[in-house]
Structure 1
């Protein structure tokens, strides 16, 4: 099941990227080398790879959705500087194989680890990430889990149209499983550190609608012929919260950086 089928164009236009502070943190955590290599898992339209590309010489961006890969190509390719190398790979994260001898210094998983077979993915990473390599797992709260009054109002409208349970495309969102930190510590990437990075955003009502259509729980096709009715109901619910035409969101990125111990640490 592709939970994000049909969302790629909305994802590119309406999903917020990562803040500068997060990009700087991840670039600082990754080993320095030449060429310096980034592997971005679940790249979507390349939001994370775009923010980190200035710090790396070679970037491979992987996604299981062909439409997302096309959006990433359109975003990332024109922004390359002289000498930088980019590959966009259509593959499952658990099955991805890098070019022979290619070892990433930083592997990023932004808003994606939940969707993966985590033990299988981490075992596969251990096959090609060398000692000292860093895996970064990070996400902010989605509108479904956020707690501000306007976000709760928006979620209530989604639930009125699609049901109380959180959707995941044509299915439902699965259980969370063990804490990510626990999973990482049990893997080859056992040196785990945690950080949080706050972010404040302002949304127009039209942008909230576009954001929702980028999600697995409110993709536009899930509403069928009720899409116009949904947009009308959502706008009506959000207008009382919009100050100066905008809705303010205070969010936080939770960041786990998991390092594979170098040989001297073993």
Structure 2
């Protein structure tokens, strides 16, 4: 069973998209010659591809969750510009093989690197990325790592219902302590640049719950018959932080761009 079983609809509606500034950085990092090819690993519902549509001629995106791929297809295909190619592949990233001779100019791995066998992925990318291509590993901070008062309160309720240790579907999350830039530096893409893009977001109680239900650590089915009770507790802990149902979040995207020396 996928770690994200039961989360797909919430994922598409409530997961924050990729900011324009992040998309601009990714676009500028990749070679500009045509055709431009993008490989998005762990695409989920296609948020990265959506942010980069129109900038690449040939896009391949993979994910191991059939529902995620179907949702990405429904969302992206109608927005595809004439002359552009989009291929969505349901497969584990570690087993993905592009068409013969196909090499990406840009590889994007957003909010997914921690789920992957990083050494295997980076080794396989040696043949899947053009000589001048780049690998971008990036993401923003999860609610689980939050320091903002209202997010700490929300996380405390998740722990109250599901336990102190972070869940990952039916199992437990395995923490990765090594910086992603350090991991990239040990690969073929060892020239690494880090960039940070600050993001300010506004949430409501509905969107906070929707986001939580899009995650592997608070998917709806994990609560069983206590889901209604959980939602009531979230309402209770959020109330002191806003009388207008508006909750401001300061976050940032950390982008690591790896190139061959």
TM-score, length basis structure 1? 0.96
Residue equivalent to 2:35: 35
Structure 1 gap segments, 5+ residues each? 262-266
Q: Deviations over 1:24-68 (max 9, x none)?
A: 000000011211111111100000110011211111111011110
Residue 243 to residue 106, structure 1, CA distance change in 2 (3 Å):
farther
Task: Give 1:245 deviation, angstroms.
Answer: 2.0
* Greater alpha carbon shift after TM alignment, 13-22 vs 176-185: 176-185
Task: Give 1:204 deviation, angstroms.
Answer: 0.7
| Cα separation, 1, equivalents of 2:53 and 2:147 | 33
Task: Give 1:243 deviation, angstroms.
Answer: 4.8
Give SS of 2:54's match.
Answer: helix
| Cα separation, 2, equivalents of 1:28 and 1:223 | 43
Q: Deviations over 1:80-120 (max 9, x none)?
A: 11111100000111110011111110000000000000001
Residue equivalent to 1:264: none
TM-score, length basis structure 2? 0.98
Q: Is structure 2 residue 154 aligned with structure 1 residue 154?
A: yes
Q: Deviations over 1:219-260 (max 9, x none)?
A: 000000000100111011112212532110000111100012
Give SS of 1:221's match.
Answer: helix
| Cα separation, 1, equivalents of 2:87 and 2:114 | 24
Residue equivalent to 2:7: 7
Residue equivalent to 1:222: 222
Give SS of 2:201's match.
Answer: strand
- Equivalences for residues 102-117 of structure 1 within 5 A: 102-117=102-117
| Cα separation, 1, equivalents of 2:6 and 2:16 | 18
Query: Superposition RMSD on alpha carbons, in Å?
Result: 1.0
Residue equivalent to 1:53: 53
- Equivalences for residues 155-234 of structure 1 within 5 A: 155-234=155-234
Give SS of 2:130's match.
Answer: coil
- Equivalences for residues 58-137 of structure 1 within 5 A: 58-137=58-137
Give SS of 1:198's match.
Answer: strand
Question: Quick check: 1:106–1:135 contact (8 Å CA) kept in 2?
Answer: yes
Give SS of 2:39's match.
Answer: strand
| Cα separation, 2, equivalents of 1:119 and 1:157 | 35
Give SS of 1:132's match.
Answer: strand
Residue equivalent to 2:17: 17
Question: Quick check: 1:169–1:216 contact (8 Å CA) kept in 2?
Answer: yes
> How many positions carry a matched residue from both structures?
261
